[in-house]
Amino acid sequence: MAKSHNQKAKILFLAQMLRETGENRVLTMQEILSRLNDYGIQAERKSIYDDFEALRDFGMDITFKRGRNGGYYVAGQSLAEGFSTAEETETEAGTVFFSAESDSGKKPMKLLCSAGLEEQARQYFGERAEYKNKGIDGISITTDQRNDPMFFGWLTAMGSEIHIVKPKKLAQAYREYLKSIVREYKGL
Protein backbone atom coordinates (compact mmCIF):
# COMPACT_ATOMS: atom_id res chain seq x y z
CA MET A 1 0.00 0.00 0.00
CA ALA A 2 1.34 3.45 -0.89
CA LYS A 3 2.18 5.63 2.08
CA SER A 4 -0.05 8.63 2.67
CA HIS A 5 1.29 12.04 3.65
CA ASN A 6 0.41 11.64 7.36
CA GLN A 7 1.87 8.12 7.57
CA LYS A 8 4.64 9.13 9.99
CA ALA A 9 2.04 10.47 12.41
CA LYS A 10 -0.09 7.31 12.32
CA ILE A 11 1.12 5.92 15.64
CA LEU A 12 0.55 9.31 17.30
CA PHE A 13 -3.04 9.45 16.07
CA LEU A 14 -3.52 5.83 17.16
CA ALA A 15 -2.21 6.60 20.66
CA GLN A 16 -4.53 9.60 20.87
CA MET A 17 -7.53 7.46 19.87
CA LEU A 18 -6.66 4.77 22.41
CA ARG A 19 -6.24 7.38 25.12
CA GLU A 20 -9.97 8.03 24.82
CA THR A 21 -10.90 4.39 25.43
CA GLY A 22 -11.61 2.30 28.49
CA GLU A 23 -13.33 -0.92 29.43
CA ASN A 24 -16.68 0.75 28.70
CA ARG A 25 -15.55 2.46 25.48
CA VAL A 26 -13.70 0.24 23.02
CA LEU A 27 -12.62 0.76 19.42
CA THR A 28 -13.15 -1.87 16.77
CA MET A 29 -10.49 -2.36 14.12
CA GLN A 30 -12.91 -0.92 11.56
CA GLU A 31 -13.39 2.23 13.69
CA ILE A 32 -9.61 2.60 14.01
CA LEU A 33 -9.07 2.25 10.26
CA SER A 34 -11.94 4.63 9.52
CA ARG A 35 -10.70 7.31 11.92
CA LEU A 36 -7.17 7.05 10.56
CA ASN A 37 -8.63 7.46 7.09
CA ASP A 38 -10.35 10.64 8.32
CA TYR A 39 -6.84 11.92 9.17
CA GLY A 40 -5.75 11.08 5.62
CA ILE A 41 -3.86 7.96 6.70
CA GLN A 42 -4.39 4.68 4.88
CA ALA A 43 -3.54 1.67 7.01
CA GLU A 44 -3.90 -2.09 7.03
CA ARG A 45 -4.74 -4.30 9.99
CA LYS A 46 -1.23 -5.77 10.16
CA SER A 47 0.37 -2.34 10.47
CA ILE A 48 -2.05 -1.48 13.29
CA TYR A 49 -1.06 -4.66 15.15
CA ASP A 50 2.61 -3.65 14.76
CA ASP A 51 1.77 -0.17 16.09
CA PHE A 52 -0.04 -1.73 19.07
CA GLU A 53 3.16 -3.64 19.89
CA ALA A 54 5.22 -0.45 19.69
CA LEU A 55 2.75 1.35 21.97
CA ARG A 56 2.82 -1.57 24.41
CA ASP A 57 6.63 -1.31 24.45
CA PHE A 58 6.11 2.39 25.23
CA GLY A 59 3.96 1.44 28.23
CA MET A 60 0.34 1.46 27.04
CA ASP A 61 -1.62 -1.56 28.27
CA ILE A 62 -3.66 -2.15 25.09
CA THR A 63 -6.20 -4.93 25.56
CA PHE A 64 -8.69 -6.65 23.28
CA LYS A 65 -12.21 -7.37 24.57
CA ARG A 66 -13.89 -10.28 22.80
CA GLY A 67 -17.58 -10.59 22.11
CA ARG A 68 -20.40 -8.68 20.52
CA ASN A 69 -19.32 -5.32 21.96
CA GLY A 70 -15.63 -6.13 21.68
CA GLY A 71 -12.73 -4.01 20.59
CA TYR A 72 -9.46 -2.47 21.69
CA TYR A 73 -8.93 -0.27 24.73
CA VAL A 74 -6.31 0.77 27.25
CA ALA A 75 -6.75 -1.35 30.37
CA GLY A 76 -7.29 0.40 33.69
CA GLN A 77 -9.32 3.22 32.21
CA SER A 78 -13.05 3.61 32.19
CA LEU A 79 -15.07 6.21 30.36
CA ALA A 80 -16.55 7.42 33.62
CA GLU A 81 -13.12 8.00 35.14
CA GLY A 82 -11.54 9.69 32.13
CA PHE A 83 -8.35 11.63 32.68
CA SER A 84 -8.34 14.54 35.05
CA THR A 85 -4.64 15.06 35.72
CA ALA A 86 -1.34 14.14 34.18
CA GLU A 87 -0.47 12.18 37.35
CA GLU A 88 -3.56 9.96 37.04
CA THR A 89 -2.79 9.43 33.38
CA GLU A 90 0.69 8.22 34.23
CA THR A 91 -0.76 5.66 36.65
CA GLU A 92 -3.50 4.43 34.33
CA ALA A 93 -1.71 4.33 30.99
CA GLY A 94 1.81 3.60 32.18
CA THR A 95 3.20 6.77 30.60
CA VAL A 96 2.49 10.47 30.73
CA PHE A 97 -0.16 11.87 28.42
CA PHE A 98 -1.37 15.32 29.37
CA SER A 99 -5.11 15.68 29.02
CA ALA A 100 -7.08 18.82 28.23
CA GLU A 101 -8.44 18.62 31.79
CA SER A 102 -4.99 18.81 33.35
CA ASP A 103 -4.82 20.81 36.56
CA SER A 104 -1.04 20.97 36.51
CA GLY A 105 -1.03 24.69 37.20
CA LYS A 106 0.95 25.45 34.03
CA LYS A 107 0.04 28.46 31.94
CA PRO A 108 -2.14 27.58 28.95
CA MET A 109 -0.43 27.32 25.60
CA LYS A 110 -1.45 29.25 22.53
CA LEU A 111 -0.92 27.92 19.02
CA LEU A 112 -1.45 29.57 15.66
CA CYS A 113 -2.34 27.30 12.76
CA SER A 114 -3.54 27.54 9.20
CA ALA A 115 -7.25 27.10 8.59
CA GLY A 116 -6.44 23.96 6.60
CA LEU A 117 -5.35 22.20 9.80
CA GLU A 118 -8.34 23.22 11.91
CA GLU A 119 -10.08 19.84 11.66
CA GLN A 120 -6.95 17.91 12.71
CA ALA A 121 -6.37 20.36 15.57
CA ARG A 122 -9.95 19.98 16.79
CA GLN A 123 -9.64 16.20 16.65
CA TYR A 124 -6.37 16.31 18.59
CA PHE A 125 -7.27 18.86 21.27
CA GLY A 126 -11.00 18.25 21.47
CA GLU A 127 -13.72 20.68 22.43
CA ARG A 128 -12.11 21.76 25.70
CA ALA A 129 -9.68 23.95 23.78
CA GLU A 130 -10.64 27.46 22.73
CA TYR A 131 -10.57 28.17 18.98
CA LYS A 132 -10.62 31.68 17.49
CA ASN A 133 -10.55 32.69 13.84
CA LYS A 134 -7.54 34.79 12.88
CA GLY A 135 -8.52 36.18 9.51
CA ILE A 136 -9.50 33.88 6.68
CA ASP A 137 -6.27 31.90 6.73
CA GLY A 138 -5.81 30.83 10.33
CA ILE A 139 -7.02 30.07 13.82
CA SER A 140 -5.56 30.41 17.28
CA ILE A 141 -5.90 27.57 19.75
CA THR A 142 -5.65 28.04 23.50
CA THR A 143 -5.49 24.90 25.62
CA ASP A 144 -3.64 23.33 28.53
CA GLN A 145 0.09 23.24 28.04
CA ARG A 146 1.57 19.97 26.85
CA ASN A 147 5.28 19.27 26.95
CA ASP A 148 5.79 15.64 26.01
CA PRO A 149 7.09 13.63 23.04
CA MET A 150 3.59 12.65 21.89
CA PHE A 151 2.53 16.28 21.54
CA PHE A 152 5.82 17.30 19.93
CA GLY A 153 5.51 14.36 17.52
CA TRP A 154 1.99 15.42 16.54
CA LEU A 155 3.15 19.01 16.11
CA THR A 156 6.02 17.86 13.87
CA ALA A 157 3.63 15.79 11.75
CA MET A 158 1.52 18.90 11.14
CA GLY A 159 4.52 20.63 9.55
CA SER A 160 5.21 24.32 9.34
CA GLU A 161 1.56 25.40 9.28
CA ILE A 162 1.22 25.36 13.07
CA HIS A 163 3.33 27.27 15.61
CA ILE A 164 3.59 27.57 19.37
CA VAL A 165 3.02 31.24 20.18
CA LYS A 166 3.01 31.06 24.01
CA PRO A 167 4.61 30.26 26.35
CA LYS A 168 8.04 31.00 24.91
CA LYS A 169 9.64 28.30 27.09
CA LEU A 170 7.44 25.66 25.46
CA ALA A 171 8.43 26.91 21.98
CA GLN A 172 12.09 26.67 23.06
CA ALA A 173 11.54 23.13 24.38
CA TYR A 174 10.03 22.17 21.02
CA ARG A 175 13.02 23.66 19.16
CA GLU A 176 15.36 21.62 21.38
CA TYR A 177 13.29 18.49 20.66
CA LEU A 178 13.66 19.09 16.91
CA LYS A 179 17.39 19.76 17.25
CA SER A 180 17.84 16.48 19.12
CA ILE A 181 16.17 14.61 16.26
CA VAL A 182 18.40 16.32 13.69
CA ARG A 183 21.50 15.41 15.75
CA GLU A 184 20.43 11.75 15.71
CA TYR A 185 20.43 11.73 11.92
CA LYS A 186 23.58 13.74 11.26
CA GLY A 187 26.34 11.71 9.71
CA LEU A 188 24.13 8.85 8.53
- Domain presence at residue 1: no
CATH number at residue 26: 1.10.10
Domain residues for 37?
7-93
Pairwise CA distance, residues 7 & 13, whole Å = 10
Q: Does one domain contain both 72 and 125?
A: no
156 and 121 share a domain? yes
Q: Report pLDDT for 77.
A: 52
Residue 156 has pLDDT above 80, yes or no: yes
CB atoms within 10 A of CB 188: 4
pTM above threshold 0.85: no
Q: Packing angle between helix 10-19 and helix 149-158, nearest 10 degrees? A: 130
Residues 20 and 86 in one domain: yes
Q: Are residues 161 and 131 in the same domain?
A: yes
Measured at the CA of 9, the angle between CA 6 and CA 14, to 5 degrees, comes to 115
N- to C-terminal Cα separation, the chain: 27
Domain count within the chain: 2
Contact between 62 and 21 under an 8 Å Cβ cutoff? The reply is: no
Q: Model confidence over 99-142: pLDDT tens digits?
A: 333 444 567 889 898 888 888 888 888 777 888 888 778 888 88
